[in-house]
C-alpha cells in the first residue's frame, strides 16, 4: 500500500459539561486527505484545497503530527500529504484535529500499523498544540476513535470510548465569524468556584450514565455549563436566542461546540433534528451573518478509508 | 402498622472524585431505629443508646427530617423515635445521614407511603443541614436508595442510581479522633483551579463509566482527588502511609470517606478486602490511636426493615 485516501471527520468537543475531556465524532462533515509515501525521507504538505493554510510541514498541524509519529518510531520515511479542507479553521468543530488525526491515521496504516488507534492520539495532540497552544485531546480522540470519548487523565493520557445511543443526532450551526481557539481559551478564568465545579462534575457524571442507559432526556438535562459557556457565549451572535429557539423546537440540549463560534444542538431522531435545523435556518437567515448548518449522526468509526 | 424497626446504613460519600455528588451505601455498618406512632401529635426522640445525642427533636437530625416530611404533608401525626446509635457521630461515614434517612423512611412507611423513596431525600437533607450547616445529599441518597448514587443537580434536586459491580468491597478505617463536618468543610477553598477541576470531572466521568462496564481497574484509577484530599488529609493521621499500604496490598483505590477522619479502600472481592483490612489492622495497632475497622459489601437496598 503506497497511498491512502481518507475522510477525516469533524468533531464536537466539550459538549457543555465536559470541558477539555469530552467529545464526539460527526458523520457528515469532514475533510478529505490523500497521503502517499515518497522517496525523499521528507514529510511534505504537497497540496491544500478549500482553505489557505501553511504548506510548510512544520507549520501545518498534519505535518507536525506525522513528524511526532515518525520521531517515536525513529523512522525517516517520507510522505506527501494532500488536504481537501472542507472544515473551516476556527469553526469550533475540530478543523485542526481532523487534519492531525487523519494524517497520523493514514501514515500509521501505510507503515503497516505499528501503533494502535489509541496510541495515535498523543501524536495528533501535537497538531493541537501547534494550532491552539494547548495539547487537548477532546477533538483528536473522537476524530480517531469515533463515537463519544472521555479523557480521564492527560498525564498519563487515558481516553475512554463511551457508548453511542443510536437515535442521537447533532445539528451544528457555524456562524462565519472566526474565533481562534487561542483567543477563545485566553478569556477563560483559570480559577473557578467550587460550587460551579461541583455542578459541572455532577452533570458530566450524569451525561456518562445517560449514554449507557440511552436516557435521552437525562442527556439533555446534563448539557449544562456554568464555567466556560457564560464567558464564551458572549462571542457568539444570538447565542441565548438560539438556545431558546432549539429548546422550543424539542432539542435535547444546546451549547458551544469546542471553542466556538459553532454551536450544537443534540436531538433525538432525524425528524426532530430536521425540525431544529430548519428553525435555526429560518432564524439565522434573517440576521446579517453568513453561516453553515450541518446535521449529522454520530460517527462511530472516526477516520474512514475512502 | 404502628411501629417499625429498621437498619439505617452507614455510607461513604465523595469517593475521592465525586465531592458533594457521589456516595455509596454500606451493608455491615449501621444504626438500628424503632419508630412508633404516638397519639400526642408530637415528634419525640424517646431514647438514644450508644451515643450522647440531643433528645430534643428540633436539635436531633432524625427529628428535624421527620418534621420536614410531616410539614410537607401538612400532617400533625406524632411519632416516637428510638435510636440505637452504632455509627459514631463525626466519623465520616454518614452518621447523621443514617438517622435522618432511617427516620423519614420509617415514618413514610407508617403513613402508608405517601412519598416515593427518592422524594424522601430532600427531607433527610434537612437533617444534614442541621448537622453540618450544608444540605448535602451524597450520604442521605445512598442511605435511602442503596447502591451508588450521583447527585446530578441540587437545584432542582436530581439523584441518579448507578450500577453496582458485584465483587466490590469497601474497607473503612475510622481513627477515633473527631472531625466535625462543619470544621472539615470550613478548610476547603471555595475556589479551585480550572486544571484541577478538569481532572476531577474526567475522573468522575470515568468512575461512572467503570460502574457500568464493571471495570475494576478503571474504578481504582478514577479515585483521584486533587481538590479536597490535599487539604483534608492533613487532619487524618498516617493518611499517606495508609494509601501506600493498601495500594501495596492490592486495593483498587483509597481516599477520605466523606469529611473524614474515616478513610476507605475499594477492593475487588472478599479475599483482597480481608487482606487489605488485615494490613491496616496490623499497621494502625502499632499507633497510639484507637480505631474501628469495617469490611462491607455495597448495600443495594439502603434502609432495611428488620
pLDDT-derived band at A181 (thresholds 50, 70, 90) equals: low
Top residue of A18, A152, A215, A225 to mutate, by most chain B CBs within 10 Å, is A152
- CATH number for the domain spanning B193: value is 3.30.70.890
Residue A150: closest CA among B203, B178, B60, B139: B203
B230 CB within 8 Å of a chain A CB: no
Residue B224 and residue B90 share a domain: no
pLDDT at B183 over 80: no
Interval B222-239: pLDDT, tens: 999 999 999 999 989 999
pLDDT-derived band at A132 (thresholds 50, 70, 90) equals: confident
Could you give the C-alpha distances from A305 to A31, A301, B160, in angstroms and in order?
Answer: 12, 10, 40
Residue A143 lies in a domain: yes
Interval B263-274: pLDDT, tens: 999 999 999 999
A227–B194 CB contact, under 8 Å: yes
What is the span of the domain harbouring residue A176?
Answer: 168-297
Contact A44, A79 (CB under 8 A): yes
**Where are the strands (E) in chain A, listed by range?**
3-13, 22-38, 43-49, 78-84, 148-154, 157-162, 168-175, 191-193, 253-256, 263-268, 291-297, 304-305
A73 CB within 8 Å of a chain B CB: no
Residue A215: closest CA among B212, B40, B94, B111: B212
A198–B20 CB contact, under 8 Å: yes
Cα distance between residue B20 and residue B99, in whole Å: 19
B188–A194 CB contact, under 8 Å: yes
Residue A122 and residue A193 share a domain: no
- Amino acid B181: pLDDT: 65
- Amino acid B11: pLDDT: 98
Catalytic residues of A: 128, 181
Interval A211-237: pLDDT, tens: 999 999 999 999 999 999 999 999 899
A154–B199 CB contact, under 8 Å: yes
**Phi, psi angle pair for B222, to nearest 5°:** -80, -15
Cα distance between residue B212 and residue B215, in whole Å: 8
- Amino acid A144: pLDDT: 98
Residue B84 and residue B10 share a domain: yes
The last residue of one of the domains, among A162, A187, A213, is A162
Interval A61-80: pLDDT, tens: 999 999 999 999 999 999 99
Kindly state the average pLDDT of the residues A108-124: 97
Q: Coil, helix or strand for B81? A: strand
pLDDT at B184 over 90: no
pLDDT at A184 over 80: no
CB neighbour list of residue A52: distance below 8 Å, 6 or more residues apart: none
Interval B201-213: pLDDT, tens: 999 999 999 999 9
Q: Coil, helix or strand for A217? A: helix
Percent over 70 (pLDDT), chain A = 99
Q: Coil, helix or strand for B178? A: coil
B56 CB within 8 Å of a chain A CB: no
Kindly state the average pLDDT of the residues B145-156: 96
Interval B87-123: pLDDT, tens: 999 899 999 999 999 999 999 999 999 999 999 999 9
**Pairing mode, if any, of strands A148-154 and A157-162?**
antiparallel
Kindly state the average pLDDT of the residues A145-153: 97
In chain A, what residues touch B202 (CB-CB under 8 Å)? 20-21, 150-154
- Amino acid A290: pLDDT: 96
Q: Helical H runs in B15-90?
A: 61-73
- Amino acid B102: pLDDT: 98
Cα distance between residue B241 and residue B218, in whole Å: 23
**Where are the strands (E) in chain B, listed by range?**
3-13, 22-38, 43-49, 78-84, 148-154, 157-162, 168-175, 191-193, 253-256, 263-268, 291-297, 304-305
In chain B, what residues touch A154 (CB-CB under 8 Å)? 199, 202
pLDDT-derived band at A289 (thresholds 50, 70, 90) equals: very high
Kindly state the average pLDDT of the residues B29-35: 97
A205 CB within 8 Å of a chain B CB: yes
Q: Coil, helix or strand for A290? A: coil
Of B152, B158, B193, nearest to A191 by CB-CB distance is B193
Number of domain units in chain B: 2
Residue B186 and residue B114 share a domain: no
User: CA of B161: which chain A residue's CA is closest?
Assistant: A209
A209–B212 CB contact, under 8 Å: yes
In chain B, what residues touch A193 (CB-CB under 8 Å)? 190-192
Residue A153 and residue A12 share a domain: yes
Q: What is the ipTM of this complex?
A: 0.95
Residue A249 and residue A194 share a domain: yes
Q: Coil, helix or strand for B25? A: strand
- Amino acid A187: pLDDT: 84
What average pLDDT does the structure give for chain A? 95
User: Cα angle at B283 between B279 and B285, to 5 degrees?
Assistant: 115
- CATH number for the domain spanning B84: value is 3.30.230.10
B201–A197 CB contact, under 8 Å: yes
Contact B45, B54 (CB under 8 A): yes
Residue B151 and residue B14 share a domain: yes
Could you give the C-alpha distances from B101 to A77, B63, B94, B147, in angstroms and in order?
Answer: 66, 11, 10, 14
C-alpha cell at position B215:
471495570
Residue B79 and residue B23 share a domain: yes
Percent over 70 (pLDDT), chain B = 99
B194–A191 CB contact, under 8 Å: yes
The last residue of one of the domains, among A147, A162, A177, is A162
A190–B194 CB contact, under 8 Å: yes
Say which range, A24-33, A246-255, B69-78, B184-193, has the weakest mean pLDDT: B184-193
In chain A, what residues touch B218 (CB-CB under 8 Å)? 152, 160
In chain B, what residues touch A191 (CB-CB under 8 Å)? 191-194
Residue B139 and residue B15 share a domain: yes
Cα distance between residue B179 and residue B10, in whole Å: 17
Kindly state the average pLDDT of the residues A117-140: 94
Residue B139 and residue B7 share a domain: yes
In DSSP terms, B238 is beta-bridged to: none
**Phi, psi angle pair for B120, to nearest 5°:** -75, -20
Kindly state the average pLDDT of the residues A11-40: 97
**Where are the strands (E) in A118-252, listed by range?**
148-154, 157-162, 168-175, 191-193
- Amino acid B169: pLDDT: 98
Interval B256-295: pLDDT, tens: 999 999 999 999 999 999 999 999 999 999 999 999 999 9
Top-confidence residue, B56 or B186: B56
Of B152, B162, B192, nearest to A197 by CB-CB distance is B192
B129 CB within 8 Å of a chain A CB: no
Of B192, B199, B221, nearest to A194 by CB-CB distance is B192
B14 CB within 8 Å of a chain A CB: no
Catalytic residues of B: 128, 181
In DSSP terms, B17 is beta-bridged to: none
pLDDT at A58 over 70: yes
B188 CB within 8 Å of a chain A CB: yes
Amino acid at each position: 500500500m503506497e497511498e491512502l485516501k481518507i475522510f477525516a471527520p469533524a468533531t464536537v468537543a466539550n459538549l457543555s459539561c465536559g470541558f477539555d475531556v469530552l467529545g464526539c465524532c460527526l458523520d457528515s462533515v469532514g475533510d478529505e486527505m490523500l497521503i502517499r509515501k515518497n522517496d525523499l525521507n521528507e514529510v511534505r504538505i504537497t497540496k491544500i484545497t478549500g482553505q489557505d493554510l501553511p504548506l510548510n510541514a512544520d507549520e501545518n498541524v498534519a505535518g507536525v503530527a506525522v513528524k511526532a509519529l515518525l520521531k517515536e518510531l525513529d523512522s525517516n520515511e517520507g510522505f506527501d500529504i494532500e488536504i481537501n479542507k472542507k472544515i473551516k479553521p476556527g469553526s469550533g468543530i475540530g478543523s485542526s484535529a481532523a487534519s492531525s488525526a487523519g494524517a497520523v491515521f493514514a501514515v500509521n496504516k501505510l507503515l503497516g500499523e505499528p501503533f494502535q488507534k489509541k496510541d495515535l492520539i498523543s501524536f495528533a495532540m501535537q497538531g493541537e498544540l501547534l494550532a491552539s497552544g494547548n495539547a487537548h485531546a477532546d477533538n483528536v480522540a473522537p476524530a480517531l476513535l469515533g463515537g463519544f470519548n472521555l479523557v480521564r487523565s492527560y498525564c498519563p493520557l487515558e481516553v475512554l470510548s463511551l457508548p453511542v445511543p443510536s437515535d442521537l443526532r447533532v445539528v451544528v450551526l457555524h456562524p462565519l465569524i472566526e474565533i481562534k481557539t487561542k483567543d477563545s481559551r485566553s478569556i477563560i478564568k483559570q480559577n473557578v468556584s467550587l460550587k460551579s465545579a461541583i455542578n459541572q462534575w455532577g452533570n458530566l457524571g450524569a451525561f456518562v450514565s445517560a449514554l449507557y442507559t440511552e436516557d435521552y432526556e437525562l442527556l439533555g438535562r446534563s448539557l449544562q455549563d456554568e464555567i466556560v459557556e457564560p464567558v464564551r457565549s458572549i462571542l457568539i451572535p444570538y447565542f441565548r436566542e438560539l438556545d431558546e429557539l432549539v429548546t422550543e423546537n424539542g432539542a435535547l440540549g444546546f451549547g458551544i461546540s469546542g471553542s466556538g463560534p459553532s454551536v450544537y444542538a443534540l436531538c433525538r431522531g432525524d425528524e426532530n433534528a430536521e425540525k431544529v435545523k430548519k428553525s435555526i435556518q429560518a432564524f439565522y437567515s434573517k440576521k446579517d451573518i453568513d453561516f453553515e448548518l450541518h446535521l449529522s449522526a454520530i460517527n462511530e468509526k472516526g477516520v474512514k478509508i475512502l
